[in-house]
Amino acid sequence: MPSRVDAPWRLINEAVQIGSLAYIDVDLTSDKLPPGFTYYTPYHFAVGYAAAFAAYEPGRKLVFIAFAGTDDPADLWTDIESVGSSAYIEKYAAQFSDWVADVLTYFPGYGVVFTGHSLGGMVAETFTHWYQGARGGNVYGVSFGGTGVNGGWENAPAEHFFHITHSQDFIGKH
């Protein structure tokens, strides 16, 4: 049975650190992970650019799956389209489904933390919903600066999903 996540603030801090790395070059990511984490595998939209990646911490049996957020005009359009429609963001998130399933198959018995910023935060929330109740209940999500599915967080999984924003964030504020 996987160990429960022992400290939510530690988990949130690591999720934000790891989630922010989804924007940088694949070759640089492993050197910037928090202590104890190992880079596992990227999901590529284009050569050399990871739209998502996984990292794991064997001591606590946790795998973090980080999704990159908005960083080009096409992503901005996806953000705008997704605010009014959870079906749209689910379609966007579905392109990662096989890769996420492969990562989780590689780490049986591990808890999972889905994380991301902006558009990646919406993807993280979607996967947290899809996998809620799986893996012995050890499924968490952390979004920072995301808009939420359907533009809100009221349907996020209670006690398993953390949304981080600041008062001046015009995207992630409700």
Q: Which residue has the higher pLDDT, 168 or 61?
A: 61
* Top CATH class, 8-71+92-118+134-164: alpha beta
Report, as an integer, the average pLDDT of 99-119.
94
pLDDT tens for each residue of 27-46: 666 788 888 898 887 887 65
Q: Decide if pLDDT at 102 tops 70.
A: yes
Domain spans of the chain, in order of start: 8-71+92-118+134-164
Q: Chain-wide mean pLDDT for the chain?
A: 77
How much is the pLDDT for 2? 39
Most confident segment among 76-90, 109-123, 145-159: 109-123
Query: Which pLDDT belongs to residue 98?
Result: 94
Report residue 97: phi and psi, to 5°. Answer: -55, -50
DSSP 3-state assignment of 63?
A: strand
Place 21 in a pLDDT band, splitting at 50, 70 and 90: confident
Angle of the 119-131 helix axis to the 86-94 helix axis, nearest 10? 80
Residue 129, pLDDT score: 85
Residue 13's SS3 state is: helix
Q: What is the pLDDT of residues 41-52, one digit of tens each?
A: 788 765 545 589
- Helix axis angle, 8-20 to 119-131, nearest 10°: 130
Per-residue model confidence (pLDDT) at position 103:
96
